[in-house]
Structure 1
Amino acid sequence: MNVHRAQEILAADEKITVELNGVPVWIDSVDSSKAVAKVHAEENPADARLVTVQELEEVH
């Protein structure tokens, strides 16, 4: 995924499924200058981490 798409998903009104290594995650924030996103697992909001946006995959 690229930074622009991660920002679009973050701003979207509807739920767009995103996965990190096959695990569904929510995007909490995107830092476009560093191309990283703060995400957390859908099942575990306390499991927040910073990952590069390239690691994220949109599920269609």
Structure 2
Amino acid sequence: MDLQRAKEIAASPVMAHVTHEGHQVYIQSVDEGTQTATVYHLKNPDHRYAVHVRDLTEQHVVH
């Protein structure tokens, strides 16, 4: 994922389907300087961690 898209998702009130290493995560914030995002697994919201935005994947869900 690119930095700009990660920022858009973090700022949006709409939940995007984003994964990190196969697990669905929520992007809490994005740090432009380090190009990392603070994320957490939806099943474990108390465990927040930083990942490089390029390691995030947006899944486009078709309804």
CA distance, structure 2, for counterparts of residue 15 and residue 29 of structure 1: 14
Q: Does 1:54 align with 2:54?
A: yes
Q: Does 1:30 align with 2:30?
A: yes
Q: Which amino acid aligns with 1:57?
A: T
1:47 Cα deviation after fit: 1.7
Extract unaligned runs of 5+ from structure 1: none
TM-score (structure 1 length as normaliser): 0.94
Q: Which amino acid aligns with 2:51?
A: V
1:8 Cα deviation after fit: 0.4
Name which one, 1 or 2, has greater alpha-carbon Rg. Answer: 2
Which residue is equivalent to 2:2? 2
1:12 Cα deviation after fit: 1.4
Question: CA offsets per residue over residues 13-54 of structure 1, 9 Å max, x none?
Answer: 211110001100000110011100000000101121110000
What is the number of equivalent residue pairs in this alignment?
60
Bigger share in strand: 1
**RMSD in angstroms over aligned alpha carbons?**
0.7
Extract unaligned runs of 5+ from structure 2: none
